[in-house]
Structure 1
């Protein structure tokens, strides 16, 4: 029950924020339900047969499952309306309470934690500067008057609180009613309704795309929507489920991520340490550390702004060409964005950036994915999905980039992501082939979707990550991609002596390093004279490695007006971009 401290100190603005979040979830649920309805209308009548509904209940028809989905939409809509009204009403009651409490305290009365009120002390000494001054013969009369006033103040507080409790109870009943379905199986009791909240423990663990895909496939549409709405951070990170489902989940996280970063920045700005100068010139380390933290948070905010511009074009409308496949603010920030839908594209290319990458570098890295998408799409080779994968904690400077540990730690994540793309496509996207009929006149499920022409591009330290990912555990002879492209690479790991060790076939491993790219001079100090020596193994552009070398322009000279090492970042320019597009579309074989 609502109590005096709850009403006095409650932050009802958070209710209004929750209402907006419910509206966003409701919009995503409505879009999914409408998409399912259109698909059902377009399907043959025989498709509307009894199909397994998964662990939530007995078999259900597709028509019943669609009704369940619209139940959820209506419930979310009602919940958003109730929360918004509750926030407005209870905030008004809170203001009333503050007013009556202020009147009591300004008159010298004390309001206690339970809402009761006590009168100020009665002072018999006329020379005392206490709250009340009176002569002895006035004592009893004043005491009785103060007691009556205290009772009146307490009554005013109780009246406001009583109205607030009554309204709060009504809002609670309305929210409970919003969770009760009105149509479909859930309303008729065909399956147990249970609590509206879903059990987070039933979600599959990350890193197993096949298990995630099987779990997602087992869920009825309404169950999927509930999981997506209540655990978007878990659903958005699941490799193996459809890209658009991940996108819907991750978009729900963007506003919260922005608010969190803005709060972090405000907290830092409010706690700036004193700038201590050493010898009157150099700032002390405390201030340097603080400045570094501020710069990193501001860089993340800029990266998130670039992401929001892509997703909504600055208008609040979803960017249909962009799918947000992962979002995590931990460390340097991890984010995965696809230009185009990898579940339906003919060509899928995943670009893995290197040193210094993270949420802060998203704008530039996403621009590379965009220009490659445009170049590949212009080659009349079918639809292309161009993905930037910033799903790992990357080294942030050259000293850190000497260590292979960042690539070793990223290997499983990249391997899971690439396998998840293939699983999601093959399991959830039907091919154009006609379904094979099953017994009893029932058509079998559509054939699995055809695999895409898939490529992974590793740039700089990102190529080292690719090397470790493609050899991660060597669990199967089938690698998750068709080909790899290694650009400006410092090596793909000391455990990879030859292109064939990547498991793709040497004719499917491409490499290029610009003449003016200083990375070609980054040799292994332990083996400086070894053939093809590089920091992380063998230089992929050395003939001893056995990759297919393609020619790129020399790039701008180092320490020129275009930067310190401009050639290291010019593999997406003009001629080099055209060749890269030919490789990822399979037109250069």
Structure 2
């Protein structure tokens, strides 16, 4: 870039272009939301059958196109604003230098050099002549391999400026200083142009109508490239507080301007999506981007992996010593293929969880089912999936369901459906707004023995659970007065018990189902008001309870929530086994008593909860007690 170009440059034109892309991004976002929340929801409400599923799948693909457009345009917006910011800094420096030159009656030439008039005391009877000087920028790199950083140039310029102080014409030194400022401004503008031109050229999609895995992979690269280049522009944009509480995160987000929020969301979706205390709709947008980019990365990895597929079988060759000919032995599966298949299966498992989340997105509107909010997502390790039915920020009643052994991203489908059933049941019992959340936000044990007998999984999850609940309280319209119920199953009850032991659980009610033990020996130790701990224990669900109390029961007596001494409200159930607490009747389509009782607690209808009938005058019938006495 030269002096004339910079002098005529208008950084505002780049900002205007950025606003245009922001408008396109917002329009794409609105189109995506309309497709998912209006069109799809409307079809689900009024139509049924395989044709609806096929139509919804096509609409979701179109919504993906709009989502990709939204993400890319948001990245371009930040890139253009960053370019405009850097060019304006350089332009302001140039304009200030030119203004000073005019004040000195200097002339700035088209090449950026500065002409100064004759001035000063006469030397040999003559006034020192005027002249023209060419400035140079400090820190300017060179192509000289001996001096790539331009340090020698800087030294030479310093000597030149020192010499100017002894020049016969006093205007010479001032002209040199102004010429250097002009050169510096042009140099900085050139640097900005050279940095951002290739980045902006890369911000374009393929000229087809399909958003492929490669496109999402490029979007993630684009965000990284713009993020690294926009450090100056984002210098004053505060990062979220390191290790901040949900309340601190909420205050940080509220303290950003709309432009700053948009820039941070565009460039840091993976960070923003996991911050407790950030509004649900913001986390949802960020995590949907994380999900799309993760799915793309997994599919691309799978494609590469399939190309490296080893031979699955080989023949065991033997030699016939009598006839002196080789003979073919048994077919054997190669160890290389076994290892390849095991790793490939692991890669594909992650896609199952992503598909389960996307299926839930497509169910919006089905029998009134509200929009899903992706509150947390990660494909790493066993994965994370936190998905809400309805916006918890505006809900009057919130239930957070925590699954137990076997919970993971790849196995999330069933747990997501349980959250859906909880919403259907609870919402039918009240005119107020309900939001139910499936919280797979921890590494759950994957096997009963030995994993589920250990405390470590629950110990490690307690802090994360408390943070999440604090985040719900920080963003809900009612603040800390919002009504939140913890619903937990199996090992999940152990996890909630551990979270409660850490204090400040932040919920109003706790519902346990199929608990192996809550790490405490009394409901009073669970950090909720008296009478607000509820327990369900179905017929045929004695194994987990009986075995679990030995490992996770409270106190030396191994007490668990089914014991009358524990002090929980024992709710009646009509389901069988360990996993039926969230079932609906297949014939009538009505909720079971087990889940309906949970819904009554969630909506605060405590007086309508049906407690377990007493057959012998005790809190629980004798046949419900576990026959194993671990103290014997």
2:600 corresponds, among 572, 579, 582, to 582
Distance in 2 (CA, whole Å) between partners of 1:276 and 1:75 is 46
Query: In the alignment, does 2:530 pair up with 1:509?
Result: no
Write the mapping of 1:141-156 to structure 2, written as runs, cut at 5 A.
none
Partner of 2:265: 228
Query: Would the aligned equivalents of 1:532 and 1:544 in 2 still touch at CA under 8 Å?
Result: no
Query: Would the aligned equivalents of 2:75 and 2:267 in 1 still touch at CA under 8 Å?
Result: no
TM-aligned CA deviation for residue 213 of structure 1: 1.2
CA gap of 1:421–1:547, structure 2 versus 1, over 3 A, is same
Write the mapping of 1:142-541 to structure 2, written as runs, cut at 5 A.
172=197, 175=200, 195-197=232-234, 202-206=239-243, 208-272=245-309, 290-312=340-362, 321-399=371-449, 400-425=451-476, 429=477, 449=479, 451-472=481-502, 474=503, 478-493=504-519, 496-517=520-541, 518-523=543-548, 533=558, 538-541=559-562
Distance in 2 (CA, whole Å) between partners of 1:174 and 1:417 is 37
User: Any idea what SS the aligned residue of 1:388 has?
Assistant: strand
User: Any idea what SS the aligned residue of 1:481 has?
Assistant: coil
CA gap of 1:482–1:313, structure 2 versus 1, over 3 A, is closer
CA gap of 1:257–1:200, structure 2 versus 1, over 3 A, is farther
TM-aligned CA deviation for residue 26 of structure 1: 2.2
Per-residue CA deviation, residues 59-106 of structure 1 (Å, 9 max, x unaligned), is xxxxxxxxxxxxxx99937938999xxxxxxxxxxxxxxxxxxxxxxx
TM-aligned CA deviation for residue 294 of structure 1: 2.7
Query: Would the aligned equivalents of 1:357 and 1:390 in 2 still touch at CA under 8 Å?
Result: yes
Larger Rg: 2
Distance in 2 (CA, whole Å) between partners of 1:341 and 1:206 is 25
User: Any idea what SS the aligned residue of 2:460 has?
Assistant: helix
Distance in 2 (CA, whole Å) between partners of 1:78 and 1:200 is 16
TM-score calculated relative to the size of structure 1: 0.58
TM-aligned CA deviation for residue 539 of structure 1: 1.8
CA gap of 1:450–1:255, structure 2 versus 1, over 3 A, is same
Partner of 2:58: none
Residue ranges of structure 1 left out of the alignment (5+ in a row): 2-21, 35-72, 84-167, 179-192, 432-448, 556-566
CA gap of 1:588–1:291, structure 2 versus 1, over 3 A, is farther
Partner of 2:143: none
CA gap of 1:377–1:530, structure 2 versus 1, over 3 A, is closer
User: Any idea what SS the aligned residue of 1:413 has?
Assistant: helix
Query: Would the aligned equivalents of 2:385 and 2:440 in 1 still touch at CA under 8 Å?
Result: yes
1:550 corresponds, among 571, 574, 587, to 571
Partner of 1:59: none
Query: Would the aligned equivalents of 2:500 and 2:525 in 1 still touch at CA under 8 Å?
Result: no
TM-aligned CA deviation for residue 361 of structure 1: 1.7
TM-aligned CA deviation for residue 308 of structure 1: 1.9
CA gap of 1:527–1:201, structure 2 versus 1, over 3 A, is closer
Count residues with an aligned counterpart. 387
CA gap of 1:82–1:244, structure 2 versus 1, over 3 A, is closer
User: Any idea what SS the aligned residue of 1:253 has?
Assistant: helix
Query: Would the aligned equivalents of 2:575 and 2:594 in 1 still touch at CA under 8 Å?
Result: no
Distance in 2 (CA, whole Å) between partners of 1:75 and 1:287 is 40
CA gap of 1:27–1:529, structure 2 versus 1, over 3 A, is closer
CA gap of 1:479–1:265, structure 2 versus 1, over 3 A, is same
Per-residue CA deviation, residues 519-576 of structure 1 (Å, 9 max, x unaligned), is 123145589999973xxxx321111211111111251xxxxxxxxxxx2110012221
Query: Would the aligned equivalents of 1:207 and 1:412 in 2 still touch at CA under 8 Å?
Result: no
Query: Would the aligned equivalents of 1:457 and 1:484 in 2 still touch at CA under 8 Å?
Result: yes
User: Any idea what SS the aligned residue of 2:505 has?
Assistant: coil
TM-score calculated relative to the size of structure 2: 0.54
TM-aligned CA deviation for residue 291 of structure 1: 3.6
Query: Would the aligned equivalents of 1:304 and 1:359 in 2 still touch at CA under 8 Å?
Result: yes
CA gap of 1:364–1:221, structure 2 versus 1, over 3 A, is same
